[in-house]
């Protein structure tokens, strides 16, 4: 599965050009819209539909560093929901290198740990996230 995922990402990069010197305004707007739609789909549990949209937003460019980190966290949560825990871990590592929202980062780690049956770690990460944003609740 991860091989197909990597191949799809490479195709997107090739299709959109690599190192072309920036992104035009229309592409930036499209990227923003893809990211926003992916966020809405995650909220209603449509993870499989959110993944390709967030992939496009990450690969195409046009997100500022904070938005890019949030996109990686969103993709990590979607991968968790789909059972692709290795991909989720990779996205969490990418988000950590950026400047993510700490609540969102801890929350995403809590979800991953829960999927990995690391319940003590999950509970600890959720507590850290909820100290920052008390509205965060684990998905069903």
At 46 the three-state DSSP class reads coil
Q: Which whole-number Å values give the CA distances from 118 to 24, 112, 125, in the listed order?
A: 44, 9, 11
Average pLDDT in the 13-34 region?
65
Domains and CATH numbers, the chain: 2-12+25-132 (1.25.40.10)
pLDDT digits (tens, 9 = 90+) for 28-78: 888 888 899 999 999 999 999 999 999 989 988 888 888 899 999 999 999
Judged against a pLDDT cut of 80, whether residue 128 lies above it is answered with yes
- Confidence at residue 22, expressed as pLDDT on a 0 to 100 scale: 61
Rounded Cα gap, residues 47 and 82, in angstroms: 7
Rounded Cα gap, residues 90 and 79, in angstroms: 10
Verdict on whether the full-model pTM lies above 0.85: no
């Amino acid at each position: 599965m991860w091989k197909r995922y990597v191949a799809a990402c490479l195709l997107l990069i090739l299709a959109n050009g690599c190192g072309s010197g920036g992104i035009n305004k229309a592409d930036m707007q499209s990227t923003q819209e893809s990211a926003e739609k992916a966020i809405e789909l995650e909220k209603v549990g449509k993870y499989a539909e959110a993944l390709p949209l967030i992939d496009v937003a990450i690969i195409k460019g046009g997100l500022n560093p904070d938005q890019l980190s949030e996109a990686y966290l969103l993709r990590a949560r979607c991968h968790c929901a789909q059972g692709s825990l290795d991909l989720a871990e990779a996205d969490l590592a990418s988000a950590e290198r950026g400047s993510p929202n700490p609540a969102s980062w801890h929350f995403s780690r809590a979800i991953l740990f829960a999927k990995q049956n690391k319940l003590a770690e999950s509970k600890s990460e959720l507590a850290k996230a909820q100290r920052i944003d008390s509205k965060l609740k684990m998905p069903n």
